[in-house]
C-alpha cells in the first residue's frame, strides 16, 4: 500500500509540474489570442492580423530571412563538417572551435562586432571606399540573413559531422570496389546516407533563425525591417490598446511557422536510417595531396577567423577609441569606455541581476532536470517522460512567444489571483527554467545512460544504502556530463536577451538588455566595451571548465591505474 501511495504522489507532483510549467502557459496564450477585452470569445484580432500590412510584411520577412539564412548555414556547415569528418586536413579542433564560437557567444555581441567592423568610419569601410568598392551595409535584409547564417552554421555542422562519422567506411569502399570514383561515391553513397542529418540540421538552423530576436532587433529595428519576433517586441513594448492580445495572435502565427518547421524535420529524419546506433569512426577517408591540403587548411582557418574572431578583436579595440576614426595614436586612446563598464551603476546592476537569475535558474534546472532524467531513464516513469517531452516542446517554441505566454500565465495563474509577478526576478527565473530545462534533462539523461545500471545494483548488492549509492557511486559518474549542461544553461541565461527584452522591468534589467539599450541609444563604444568584457568573462569561465575537466579526468585515470 505504502509503495503505491508513494508512486502516485510522484505522479501528481510531476504532472502538476508539467502542466504548470509548460502546458498551461501555452494554452493561456492561445486562449488570450481568441478573446476580446471583456473576456468573450472573438476572432477580431485574427481578422485585424490579416488586414495588418506590417504583420504580413513581418511574416514574409521572417520566412524569407529564415529560409535563406538556414540555407547559408547548411552550405557552410556541410562544407566544414565534410572537411572535419572525412579529410586529412589538420587543425580540426581549431576549426570546430571557430565554427562553434558564433553560436556560443551571444548573437547580439557578434552582431555588434560586425556592425562596428563594417560601419562607416571603420578601417574596412575606408579601405573599400578608397578602392571604389561598395561597402557592406549590415542594416539590410541581406545583412540579417548573413549574420543569422554565420551564427547558426554550427547547428548544421554538429549534426552533419556526427552523421558523417557514423557512415561505415566499408560502405564507401563497396562503391569504390563496384567501380565508382571517390567523388562520385561521396555523391551517390555518402550524401544520401547523411541526408537525414543535413535536412534535420537545416531545419534546426531554420528554427533558430525563426526564434532569433537579437539579430533582427539590432539590424532591423532602426532600418525598419520587421520580422515576427521584433514586431511582437514592438507591440508589447508599445503598450497600445489590445497590444497584448495582438501580441498573442502574432505569437501563435510565429509558433505555427516554427511548428511546421519542426514537423518537416521529423518527416525528413525518420527515413531509413538503419545505422542510427553505429559507432563514430574517426578514420581519414579522403586524402588531399599536401599542397591542396595546405591551401584548404589556410583558406578554412582564415575565413573562419575573419568571421568569428576579427570582428570581436576589432570591437574590443574600437572600444578603446575616443572618436569614431580608427587610429592607434596615444592621444586617441582612452580607457573611458571600459571604466564606464566597471563603474556605471546600471551596468553593475545588470551584471548582478544576470548573475543572480542565471545562477538560480541553472541550479534549479540541475536539481529538477537530473531528477526528471533519473526518473525517466532508470524508473521508466511515464510522467517523467511526458515532462521531458513538454520541456523539449518549450525549447522549440520561439523565446519571445514563451516569454509572452509566461507573462500572461504567471501574472494571473488562476483567474482572480493577481500575483504581481510581472516585472520581478521570479518571472524571469521561471522563464529561464522553462526554457532551458530540456538541456539539463538531456545532459543528465545521457549521463545516466552512460552509467551501467549494473554498477548501481552492484553497490546495492555490496550493502550500500541509497544515500551512499548516490554520493559514492552515481554522483561521481554523472557529475561531469550533468554539470556540462548546467554550465551551458548558466552561460545561455547569463547572456540571454530575447526573453528579458519583454519580461524585464527597469529594476530587473539583464546584461543583454543593457547592451541592447546602449546600442539602440547609439552608444556603440560603450556597448562594445561591455560586450568585450562579457566575451572575456565567458572565455575565462570556459577555460575554468576545461581546467576542472582536465583535473577530474586525471584523477579518474589515476584511480583506474591502481
Partner 1 sequence: MSLIIDKVSMQYGKTKVFSDVSININKGEFLSILGPSGCGKTSLLKILAGFVKPTGGQIMMDDVLYSDKYKTLPPEKRDMGMVFQSFALWPHMTVRQHVEFPLQCRHKYMSEAEKENLVQSALDITGLTDLQNRYPNELSGGQRQRVSLARAIAAKPALLLMDEPLSALDANLRVSMRKEIRRIHRLTGSTVIFVTHDQGEALSMSDRVMLFNKGHIEQIDTPKEIYINPRTPFTASFIGHCNFIEGQWQNNSFKAYDGNLSYIGEVAPAFRDSNICPLRPEQLRLNDKGVGIPVTVQDKQYMGREIHYVITNKKNIYNIYTPMEEEFAVGEELYATCR
Residue with smaller CB distance to partner 1, 4 or 183: 183
Q: How far is CA 460 from the centre of its chain?
A: 40
Query: What CA–CA distances, in Å, run from 151 to 63, 106, 147, 304?
Result: 17, 9, 6, 12
Nearest alpha carbon to residue 146 among 229, 213, 65, 227: 65
Q: What angle do CA 117, 121, 125 make, to 5 degrees?
A: 60
Asked whether the beta carbons of 350 and 516 are under 8 A apart, the reply is: no
Cβ 86 to partner 1, closest distance in Å? Answer: 15
Q: Which of 113, 175, 407, 493 lies at the binding interface for partner 1 (CB under 8 A)?
A: 175
Which residues, listed in sequence order, are joined to residue 286 by a DSSP beta bridge?
Answer: 87
Say how far apart CA 31 and CA 17 lie, in whole Å: 20
Number of H helices, E strands in the chain: 28, 0
Does 469 contact partner 1 by CB under 8 A? no
Q: Which of 47, 127, 173, 342 lies at the binding interface for partner 1 (CB under 8 A)?
A: 173
Residue with smaller CB distance to partner 1, 184 or 348: 184
Which one of 153-161, 168-176, 407-415, 490-498 is the stretch in contact with partner 1 (CB under 8 A)? Answer: 168-176
Cβ 462 to partner 1, closest distance in Å? Answer: 34
191-210 positions binding partner 1, by CB under 8 A = 192-193, 195
Q: Which of 6, 36, 142, 184 lies at the binding interface for partner 1 (CB under 8 A)?
A: 184
Residue with smaller CB distance to partner 1, 184 or 294: 184
Residue with smaller CB distance to partner 1, 131 or 272: 272
Does 327 contact partner 1 by CB under 8 A? no
Residue with smaller CB distance to partner 1, 176 or 379: 176
Q: % helix / strand / coil in the chain, to the nearest 5? A: 80, 0, 20
Nearest alpha carbon to residue 463 among 450, 453, 472: 472
Read off the C-alpha cell for 266: 521529423
Does 174 contact partner 1 by CB under 8 A? yes
Write a three-state SS string for 322-360: CCCCCCCCHHHECCHHHHHHHHCHHHHHHHHHHHHHHHH
Q: Number of C-alpha atoms within 13 angstroms, CB side, residue 527?
A: 23
Does 160 contact partner 1 by CB under 8 A? no
Q: Which of 51, 93, 178, 283 lies at the binding interface for partner 1 (CB under 8 A)?
A: 178
Residue with smaller CB distance to partner 1, 8 or 181: 181
Does 344 contact partner 1 by CB under 8 A? no
Does 267 contact partner 1 by CB under 8 A? no
Mask for 273-292, x = binds partner 1 (CB under 8 A): xxx-----------------
Nearest alpha carbon to residue 218 among 202, 203, 206, 229: 229
Cβ 92 to partner 1, closest distance in Å? Answer: 20
Does 522 contact partner 1 by CB under 8 A? no
Nearest alpha carbon to residue 205 among 85, 293, 81, 20: 81
- What sign does the dihedral 386-387-392-398 (CA atoms) show? positive
Which one of 233-241, 272-280, 392-400, 477-485 is the stretch in contact with partner 1 (CB under 8 A)? Answer: 272-280
Residue with smaller CB distance to partner 1, 182 or 520: 182
SS3 87: strand
Does 270 contact partner 1 by CB under 8 A? no
Which one of 112-120, 186-194, 344-352, 450-458 is the stretch in contact with partner 1 (CB under 8 A)? Answer: 186-194
In terms of Cβ atoms closer than 10 Å to its own Cβ (0-12, 13-18, 19+), residue 447 is: buried
Mask for 68-97, x = binds partner 1 (CB under 8 A): ------------------------------
Which one of 173-181, 257-265, 394-402, 516-524 is the stretch in contact with partner 1 (CB under 8 A)? Answer: 173-181
Number of residues that bind partner 1 (CB under 8 A): 24
Cβ 282 to partner 1, closest distance in Å? Answer: 16
Say how far apart CA 248 and CA 25 lie, in whole Å: 12
Residues that bind partner 1 (CB under 8 A): 168, 170-171, 173-182, 184, 188-189, 192-193, 195, 271-275
Amino acid at each position: 500500500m505504502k509503495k503505491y501511495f508513494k508512486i502516485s504522489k510522484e505522479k501528481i507532483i510531476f504532472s502538476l509540474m508539467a502542466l504548470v510549467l509548460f502546458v498551461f502557459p501555452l494554452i493561456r496564450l492561445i486562449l488570450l489570442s481568441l478573446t476580446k477585452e471583456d473576456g468573450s470569445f472573438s476572432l477580431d484580432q485574427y481578422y485585424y492580423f490579416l488586414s495588418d500590412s506590417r504583420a504580413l510584411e513581418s511574416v514574409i520577412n521572417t520566412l524569407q530571412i529564415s529560409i535563406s539564412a538556414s540555407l547559408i548555414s547548411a552550405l557552410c556547415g556541410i562544407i566544414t563538417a565534410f572537411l572535419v569528418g572525412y579529410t586529412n586536413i589538420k587543425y580540426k579542433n581549431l576549426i570546430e572551435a571557430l565554427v562553434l564560437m558564433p553560436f556560443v557567444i551571444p548573437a547580439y555581441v557578434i552582431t555588434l562586432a560586425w556592425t562596428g567592423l563594417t560601419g562607416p568610419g571603420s578601417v574596412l569601410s575606408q579601405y573599400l571606399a578608397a578602392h571604389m568598392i561598395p561597402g557592406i551595409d549590415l542594416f539590410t535584409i541581406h545583412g540579417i540573413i548573413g549574420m543569422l547564417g554565420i551564427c547558426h552554421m554550427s547547428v548544421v555542422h554538429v549534426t552533419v559531422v556526427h552523421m558523417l562519422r557514423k557512415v561505415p567506411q566499408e560502405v564507401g569502399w563497396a562503391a569504390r570496389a563496384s567501380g565508382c570514383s571517390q567523388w562520385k561515391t561521396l555523391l551517390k553513397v555518402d550524401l544520401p546516407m547523411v541526408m537525414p542529418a543535413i535536412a534535420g540540421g537545416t531545419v534546426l538552423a531554420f528554427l533558430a533563425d525563426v526564434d532569433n530576436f537579437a539579430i533582427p532587433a539590432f539590424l532591423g529595428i532602426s532600418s525598419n525591417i520587421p520580422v515576427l519576433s521584433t514586431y511582437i517586441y514592438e507591440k508589447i513594448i508599445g503598450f497600445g490598446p489590445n497590444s497584448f492580445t495582438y501580441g498573442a495572435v502574432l505569437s501563435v502565427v510565429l509558433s505555427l511557422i516554427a511548428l511546421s518547421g519542426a514537423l518537416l524535420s521529423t518527416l525528413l529524419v525518420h527515413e531509413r536510417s538503419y545505422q542510427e546506433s553505429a559507432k563514430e569512426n574517426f578514420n581519414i577517408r579522403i586524402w588531399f595531396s599536401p599542397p591542396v591540403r595546405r591551401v584548404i587548411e589556410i583558406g578554412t582557418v582564415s575565413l573562419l577567423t575573419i568571421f568569428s574572431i576579427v570582428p570581436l578583436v576589432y570591437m574590443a579595440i574600437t572600444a578603446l577609441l575616443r572618436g569614431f576614426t580608427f587610429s592607434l595614436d596615444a592621444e586617441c586612446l582612452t580607457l573611458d569606455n571600459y571604466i564606464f563598464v566597471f563603474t556605471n551603476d546600471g551596468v553593475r546592476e545588470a551584471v548582478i541581476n544576470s548573475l543572480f537569475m542565471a545562477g538560480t535558474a541553472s541550479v534549479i534546472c540541475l536539481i529538477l532536470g537530473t531528477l526528471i532524467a533519473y526518473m525517466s531513464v532508470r524508473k521508466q516513469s511515464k510522467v517523467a517522460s511526458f515532462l521531458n517531452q513538454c520541456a523539449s516542446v518549450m525549447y522549440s517554441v520561439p523565446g519571445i512567444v514563451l516569454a509572452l505566454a509566461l507573462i500572461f500565465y504567471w501574472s494571473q495563474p488562476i483567474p482572480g489571483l493577481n500575483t504581481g509577478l510581472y516585472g520581478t526576478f521570479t518571472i524571469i527565473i521561471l522563464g529561464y527554467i522553462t526554457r532551458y530545462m530540456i538541456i539539463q534533462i538531456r545532459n543528465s539523461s545521457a549521463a545516466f545512460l552512460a552509467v551501467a545500471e549494473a554498477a548501481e545494483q552492484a553497490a546495492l548488492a555490496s550493502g550500500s544504502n541509497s544515500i551512499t549509492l548516490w554520493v559514492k557511486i552515481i554522483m561521481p559518474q554523472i557529475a561531469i556530463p550533468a554539470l556540462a549542461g548546467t554550465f551551458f544553461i548558466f552561460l545561455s541565461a547569463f547572456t540571454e536577451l530575447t526573453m528579458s527584452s519583454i519580461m524585464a522591468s527597469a529594476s530587473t534589467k539583464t546584461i543583454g538588455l543593457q547592451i541592447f539599450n546602449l546600442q539602440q541609444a547609439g552608444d556603440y563604444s560603450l556597448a562594445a566595451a561591455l560586450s568585450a568584457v562579457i566575451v572575456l568573462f565567458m572565455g575565462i569561465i570556459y577555460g575554468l571548465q576545461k581546467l576542472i575537466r582536465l583535473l577530474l579526468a586525471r584523477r579518474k585515470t589515476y584511480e583506474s591505474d591502481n
